[in-house]
Amino acid sequence: MVDVSDKKETLREAVAHGAISMQPRTFELIQDRKISKGDVLGVARVAGIMAAKRTAELIPMCHPLSITGIEILFYPDPEKSRIEIE
């Protein structure tokens, strides 16, 4: 890996987008927090935060960077039984 120890610290921002489509009944259960295993979106939020913290371990050739904030946003679309994630 390239030595970046002399590189100046810079402010960076990364935004990832994704979406998941599902059956209408599943969408309804998630929205109503009635999935038997618990709060699906809460667990997804925690998983996203954990993944962001481990970016340098999970992505080859990625240098460890200090992370000062992580925000996971969910945008439900009832008409398409879909949740967009940012």
Sequence ranges of the domains in the chain: 46-70
The predicted structure's pLDDT at residue 63? 81
Nearest to 28 by CA among 86, 83, 84, 74: 83
Please state, for a pLDDT cut of 90, what percent of the chain lies above it: 72
> pTM score, two decimals?
0.81
> Token pair of 13, please?
């921002």
For residue range 62-80, what is the model confidence (pLDDT) as tens digits?
Answer: 888 888 999 999 999 999 9
The pLDDT of 8-19, averaged and rounded, is 90
The pLDDT of 25-41, averaged and rounded, is 96
